[in-house]
Amino acid sequence: MQTGIISDTHGLLRPEALAALHGCERIIHAGDIGHPEIIDQLALIAPVHVVRGNNDLGAPWAADLPDRLTFDLQGWQVLLVHDIADVPADLDSDINLVITGHSHKPCIEWRGERLYVNPGSAGRRRFRLPVTLVVMEVLVDSLQPRLVSLIDLPGCS
């Protein structure tokens, strides 16, 4: 199952992000959404799992969004939170995949048998950080994440 992982759109859903997510069977948004229309647009592609980010706090449309979500992704147990600081130190051993956002810094890292994914920011660029998301193939016996750059940085080839 192809799964798109996106975060920190901050009210901007780039056409490049929509193109990268086209064909995904599931989309996961790790918070700092910015506007409810973004969730609506993503839901036109595939079912969406979403958590509220710190910049979504206080927005009436985001009041019912969870700060933390656990769910099954084709047999893999997922913890979704906006900020990695909110991942419990005593994380349930059943969790195979931890998805966060917030830092705007993409990271795909195996820590033992657990995969940590931060897709980076797909919205407005912050400083000189890349604008990215992750597309992941979810198989019964493996997770195969791939970082997708949405725009080229100036001066890079």
Domain extents in the chain = 2-149
Q: Is the pTM of this model over 0.85?
A: yes
Q: What is the pLDDT of residues 32-87, one digit of tens each?
A: 999 999 999 999 999 999 999 999 999 999 999 999 999 999 999 999 999 999 99
- Sheet holding 48-50: strands in order across? 48-50, 26-29, 2-6, 132-138, 143-149
Average pLDDT, the chain: 94
CA distance 124 to 145: 23
Residues with Cβ within 8 Å of 119's Cβ and at least 6 positions away in sequence, in order, are: 5, 6, 7, 30, 99, 101, 106, 132, 133, 134, 147
pLDDT of residue 83: 97
% of the chain residues with pLDDT over 90: 87
pLDDT of residue 152: 67
Q: Is the pLDDT of residue 154 over 70?
A: no
Q: Say if CB 70 and CB 80 are below 8 A apart.
A: yes
Q: Comparing 90 with 156, which gets the higher pLDDT? A: 90
Q: Is the pLDDT of residue 146 over 50?
A: yes
* 2-149 CATH fold: Purple Acid Phosphatase; chain A, domain 2 (3.60.21)
Q: Say if CB 138 and CB 154 are below 8 A apart.
A: no
Nearest 5°: phi and psi at 153? -75, 140
